[in-house]
Amino acid sequence: MFYETNTRSIVKALSWRVLATLVTTSLVWAFTHQLALAASVGGIEVVAKMILFYLHERAWDRTRIGRRQVKPAVVWFTGLSGAGKTTLARKVQEELTNRGFRSESLDGDVIRNVFPTTGFTRAERHAHVCRVGYLASRLESHGVSSIAALISPYAESRTFVRGLCKNFLEIHLSTPLAECERRDVKGLYAKARSGAIKGFTGIDDPYEPPTSPELTIDTSKTNVDDAARQIVDLVVSRS
């Protein structure tokens, strides 16, 4: 909840007074050509209206008329490891911040660093996605948008999160497995293929693609800037 301090009202009263008294004095002078009269009216006006303006500001600070908050969104990326979720999430958050959205980045890897004991079984991954979704929904209810970048492989988990949120935008990064594996930024596909990692999405754990996402983007065909623009346009159109 924002409110305006006394100081703001006082400084505003001053800045307004300079403007307004110049106008009044000029007007009186223009009509009467009497400088003394213009100065007298101006002088009393300065004092009387400064006090009045201050009180007027304080009264308006108590009302909500015409105070608007940007409608928050839960931008939920889903897709294979290496599909471009983190890169795009960062870009989208930057752009939304520029447009006056308050937002929080919910990156799966970052949150797993805070909670290192979260596992990778189906039950644990499901619970993890649901909990991050709950966090996003609580932030949303307080006017804060979330940009979530988690593989979120299971339809069940994403449906649960959609149910918690009001303005849930599912962004499916449909970049093909072959391309993600070619990129292999974190070297995880190599480990999964060699068996050093078990239960890796796309290799030996399923990825259940969304059936009706708000947006589908294949980052092997669309570049980062164009993709970010599409997502930001969607968020803005729903805000």
Catalytic amino acids? 152
Site stretch for its own copies (CB under 8 A), options 17-25, 172-180, 199-207, 209-217: 17-25
Within 81-140, the residues that bind its own copies by CB under 8 A are 100-102, 104, 111, 114-115, 117, 123, 127, 130-131, 134-135, 138-139
Q: Does 56 participate in binding its own copies (rule CB under 8 A)? A: yes
3-state secondary structure of 170: strand
Toward its own copies, which CB reaches closer, 40 or 159?
A: 40
DSSP lists the bridge partners of residue 215 as 171
Which of 91-107 are b and which e, b meaning 16 or more Cβ less than 10 Å from the residue's Cβ?
bbbebbeeeebebeebb
Residues 6+ apart with CB under 8 A from 34: 28
Q: How far apart are CA 49 and CA 23, in angstroms?
A: 13
Based on CB atoms, which residue is closest to its own copies, 44 or 196? 44
For position 1 contacting its own copies by CB under 8 A, the verdict is: yes
Angle at 187 between CA 181 and CA 192, to 5 degrees: 70
33 is an interface residue for its own copies by CB under 8 A: no
Going along 150-202, which residue ranges are E strands? Answer: 168-173
Residue ranges binding its own copies (CB under 8 A): 1-9, 11-12, 15-16, 19-20, 23-24, 27-28, 31-32, 37, 40-41, 44-45, 48-49, 52-53, 56, 60, 65-70, 100-102, 104, 111, 114-115, 117, 123, 127, 130-131, 134-135, 138-139, 141-144
